[in-house]
Chain A
Amino acid sequence: MKSLFSIIKSDYLQRTRSYDFLVTLCVTLAIAYTFVPEPNANYSTIRIGNYIGNYNSAWFGYVTAIMTSIFLSLVGFYLINSSIKTDIETKVGQIVAATSISNFKYLFSKVLSNFLVLVTIVSVVFAMSIVLFFLYNDGANFELLQFIKPYLLITIPAMFCIAVLAVIFEMFIGKYSVLQNVVFFFLFLSLMVFSPKNENQFSLDIFGSKIVMHHLEKTVKEITNSDKKQNLTIGYTVGGVEKSKEFEFNGINFSTSFILSRFLWILLGILCIGIISPLFHRFNTKERLSIKKHKVQIEAPSVLKEIQVLNLPIAKKNYSLFPLLKTELLLLFRKGKKWLWILNIIGMVLLAFLPLKTAHQIVLPVLWFLQISRLSDLVIKEMINKVHYFAFSSYKPIRRLLFSQVLSGIILLLLLALPLLIRFVITFQLLEVLSIILGSVFIVLLATSLGILSKRKKLFEVLFFMIAYANINRIAFLDYFGGFSPELLYVLKLSSLIVFLILSVFLTRNYQLKSN
């Protein structure tokens, strides 16, 4: 038991002491700040028809708890789904494999450290919800239990299930990060779509949010004396706030079966880990890989020729960007599994033949999202591959190398969007063309700035994932490619954002180079 605790502790400390965890916490804090809108804000996060709850303890507690449960279930998975991969990359795994630790103990320790990482983030949101209550409430009493109860019975068990899922996914499809992301994305969507038919079925809801939504709807129905199904919206809805009415929500008395179901979900998670643990590869991955791919380490033949350095032809100065751009594009195209290019080609075909609106609003953001692993390390791959000493001591590293990296990312995205661009050009929809070009620049610059800032891939991956999720759910606020609102104002807004990103990229990389 003591050894398990030590493993969890060191794993947890290793992950939370990183710079990107700090950035993640700051971003979470900023997002949590928006969970309950400021009283005069022009958006809502949870609305039942025309109704929004009074700003009392229960509303703050339950709204932030279910928003966290949903938001962190989606985003949290991407934060924690590389704990085993890290052990492979750092080669700690090989040391672990040579110890007496059992597969179950190792995997369970990973689940618990994943869980602790998520709980740390939940704690920050929890504290923020109390701060928001004191900032926005209008004379309502502070009731701590209304905050604790939903977090304990909804958010925390959901986080445990996500921690388990992350380990299961890593174990079976850890090598295929894009597949991992896509499969989880669809699993998440299907879990969100699940709609319980009666009280007992609320126990089956892994996120625990459905029971709260049901009670909110029920309360509003009672007020309005209507049998009509209320239109409940979760997520950021801009506008219409001034028309909404308020209702009193006083929390939920959870049934014993629901409370019990939360513990059963946790037990089921542990059981799943127990069942799959005999199948764990125990870091014998390279051997399997080499057998599969015949990718054997080669040795150069030992016919030795003496090198005459002083007689070598001397290369001339050439500051052209083309060779850099060529290799950057080559690196982008060769990255990832080859079969993923089949998906890209299918996406391009869909862009060419589906109705313009569907192609622009659905296919394009999904197709660009599939490039997530290419974009996330666009400017940090030199750090990941330890080529940064060469890159940072190269001739004019910002003006030449960084510029060609950004340019290659934009070229890739525009190349994928080419069928759609051609169609818009043919139909003279030039604002749409401009929107797509700006969208590609924006997303590449976002990847660049977040990569330089956090020195990791994760932050951009998580944010891009959220943006893609919002795009599929047609949330216009995060439409960066002009799919929903290609107006001149939109173009101006996006352009100013791009200017801001260019400045931040230049300044942060410059600082990074100077502060080494």
Chain B
Amino acid sequence: MKLEIQNISKRYSKNKYGLKDFSLTIEKGILGLLGPNGAGKSTLLKMIATVSKPSNGLLILNKNNIVKDTNYMRKQLGFLPQDFGVYPNLNAYEFLEYMAAMKGIGGSNLKPRITQLLEGLNLIDVAKKPIGTYSGGMKQRVGIAQALLNNPKIIIFDEPTVGLDPEERVRFRNLISDLANDCIVILSSHIVSDIDSIADQVAILKNGSLITNGNPEEIIQQVQNKVFEIVITKEELSSFKNTQIVVSITRKQGKFNVRFISESPMKNTIQQQANLEDAYLYLTKIN
């Protein structure tokens, strides 16, 4: 299983790009996509999912050009878009049967697969009720179920944890880890913690370009020995924020404990162990 993204671009107008000259190779495992709003994550995912066509470049899955042969990808794709909807008049069973028909799957195993997916996603008790009555998190789980209907070999999750409560997020992370043994999982999120614990490979995007790519340890290495903490007053805080890359601020007995990234230590600072969030903020700020 190998997906090669070769110099793809998505151009909306003469000088406006959603993605520019982007290249990456993905093999079995989990790829985490990180980037601020408008970085091009959803654009990239939609192109891989064959919903959108690149203006330039190639997308090669196991030596097949999926820009031209879209059905090769679609047969083995599970896709959960960021902003998806459902037909409110159908119940979860009917909706999943419909999605299965769209994907071209059926047979005697379909019903038990749907039932087990609904059980696993904690939706079985409400499966016969119209989806229009579901909460946001439940709709999100129906979306996850439809992505897994066809035993996909490539699974794309765009912001999958939106609307899920903390417990469901943990369960979802476990689910993805299971899936990754057998296929390619591409996961985009704003929440760095959703990615750093499970991703085998991380790609950080900004303004439609790839800033960095590698395994989480390699990326964290880029800010190793650059993360510090300092306790400062309210008066010092605003000028400090203007001069340093601040990762987080916590209140502490009337003062502020500030975690920040700096090339060299300052007076009264304590060096900290770097994590993926530090690296993400550092790389998106300096690029």
Query: A residues within 8 Å of B by Cβ?
Result: 295-310, 312-320, 323-324, 327, 330-331, 334-335, 381, 385-387, 389-397, 400-401, 514-516
Contacts and interface: CB of A to CB of B under 8 A. Distances in A.
Nearest to B156: A393
A465 B285 CA distance: 56
A15 to B, nearest CB: 23
Given A295-B132, A327-B98, A389-B49, 20 more contacts: A299-B135, A300-B123, A307-B116, A307-B120, A307-B171, A310-B179, A315-B100, A315-B105, A315-B110, A315-B149, A318-B104, A330-B90, A330-B94, A390-B79, A390-B99, A390-B146, A392-B51, A393-B50, A394-B102, A516-B46
Interface string B114-143: 001101111101100100111100100100
A317 B167 CA distance: 34
Contacts of B178: 308-310
Contacts of B79: 389-390, 393
Contacts of B175: 307, 309
B273 to A, nearest CB: 31
Chain A CB within 10 Å — which of B97, B106, B123, B132 has the most? B106
B76 to A, nearest CB: 11
A309 B112 CA distance: 12
A318 B106 CA distance: 5
Contacts of B85: 385-387
A314 B151 CA distance: 6
8 contacts: A304-B171, A314-B109, A330-B90, A386-B84, A389-B49, A392-B51, A393-B77, A514-B53
A386 B123 CA distance: 21
A394 B103 contact: yes
A320 B87 contact: no
B270 interface: no
A330 B91 CA distance: 11
Contact of A300 (B81, B109, B126): B126
Nearest to A328: B98
B214 interface: no
Contacts of B108: 316
Contacts of B148: 309, 312
B181 A295 contact: no
B112 A313 contact: yes
Contacts of B104: 317-319, 394-396, 400
A331 B97 CA distance: 13
B106 A401 contact: no
B44 to A, nearest CB: 14
Contacts of B123: 300
Contacts of A387: 84-87
B84 A306 contact: no
Contact of A305 (B113, B122, B134): B122
Contacts of B138: 298-300
B71 interface: yes
Contacts of B109: 313-316
A296 to B, nearest CB: 7
A298 B133 CA distance: 6
Chain B CB within 10 Å — which of A299, A385, A393, A396 has the most? A393
Chain B CB within 10 Å — which of A313, A330, A389, A392 has the most? A389
Nearest to A383: B85
B286 interface: no
Given A309-B175, A320-B106, A315 B113 contact: yes
Interface in B42-70: 46, 49-53
Contacts of A514: 53
Given A313-B109, A316-B106, A324-B101, A304 B87 contact: no
A53 B81 CA distance: 61
A401 B102 contact: yes
B83 A312 contact: no
A391 B85 CA distance: 11
Contacts of A297: 133-135
Given A315-B149, A385-B87, A516-B51, A324 B81 contact: no
